Structures are given as structure tokens and as C-alpha cells.
Amino acid sequence: MLAYAFDEHPLFRLAFPKAASRSMILQTLFTTVLKDAIRFGRVEVACSHKIVGMLIWYPPACYPMSKSRILRLLPHYARLVAVSPVGLMKLFRAQTTLNGFRPKEPHCHGYFLGGRQGERVGTVLAKCLLNEADDKGWPIYLETQERRSANLYARLGFKMLQDGIETLPGGPLTWTMWRAPRVSTQPF
């Protein structure tokens, strides 16, 4: 589902320009991401007779990945390197740049949110994260290369941290955003 949702994503198109191989690479990449997120993060799924949307996020102190987690996933990453070493290096470079902008204070990390075209599940899935983060008093940080996604997150209470930074020369712009936890006003 995520490989399908992100197939036309600007950063992935830049890293893996050939459509035929991009689909296979993204399936391997998202399988690897899910293996880690199921164990150390959270995976929210929207269904309508089939999976129509998915959100991967990490609670505070669970992202970025530790060296031991990266080593555990090394066989999966090795497959990606074998298929597209240049593309993987582009993703690594973009991520390294973004790591320099990530806030130092503990926070949830919104990693991937994707859905099938027309299903309109992004807000529903995002609210799963927002509700849990608010309940636990956690701020949320995320990055997006889609301006329309930045607009969605702004409507959900996120504030812009970096307004369209370039993480790769000639690459898509990235918006970084932050949302402080909301205090519940409901009586106990």
C-alpha cells in the first residue's frame, strides 16, 4: 500500500527515476520500514474491504533508529544497495540533511502517511497519532515534500519549522513541521 502511495513521490522519483524498478525498490524499502515500526513504533491502518491507508510513526526516543536497529535490518538495506546504490545514497543524503533540522527535545516522529487516491483517509489516520500524542503530552515532528500535505498538517495544528528546504541539489523542497500537545479540557 505504501509503495503504491509513494510511487510518484518527488523524492523517490528523484532517487529511483525508472518506474519499473522504483516499484520493486519501494516495496522492499517499506517492508523494511514496517519491520522496524511494528517493533519500535506504531502502525495505524485504514481499511475499507482492503487496506486503503497507513500511518507509520514513532514515540519519543524511538527515532532516529539506533545503530543496533540499523544493523538488524542490514540484510534488507543490502538488497536495496544491490539494486540501486546511487538512489539509496540520495535518500541517505536527504535524511542526513533533515537530521540536522530535527528538534532535540523528545517528540513523536510522524514518518510515513499514505493512502489510496480518493480514499481521503489521511486526516483520519493523522488523528490517531494526534489523539495519542495529546493524551500523553508528546509533541510531534514531521517532514513532507508535498506542499498540499503541509497544508493538511497546518489545518491539524502543526506549525512550520523549515519552509521549503532543499535536501538534495535540484531535489524537491521539504517542509518540516511541529505540533505541541493539546491539553484536554474535558473534566475527569
Task: Name the pLDDT band for 180 (thresholds 50, 70, 90).
Answer: very high
Task: Name the pLDDT band for 185 (thresholds 50, 70, 90).
Answer: low
Distance CA 99, CA 104 (A): 10
Task: Name the pLDDT band for 183 (thresholds 50, 70, 90).
Answer: confident
Dihedral (CA of 153, 142, 20, 96) sign? positive
Q: Which of 121-125, 135-139, 173-177 has the lowest mean pLDDT?
A: 121-125
Distance CA 87, CA 9 (A): 14
pLDDT at 188: 53
Model confidence pLDDT, tens digit, residues 58-84: 999 999 999 999 999 999 999 999 999
Asked if 143 and 174 count as a contact pair (C-beta separation under 8 A), the reply is yes
pLDDT at 145: 94
Distance CA 170, CA 1 (A): 28
Helices (H), 18-174: 19-40, 67-72, 74-83, 85-99, 122-136, 147-155
Mean pLDDT computed over 152-177: 96
12 is written with which cell numbers? 523517490
Model confidence pLDDT, tens digit, residues 90-135: 999 999 999 999 999 999 999 999 998 888 899 999 999 999 999 9
Question: Nearest CA to 113 among 62, 46, 178?
Answer: 46
Q: Structure pTM?
A: 0.93
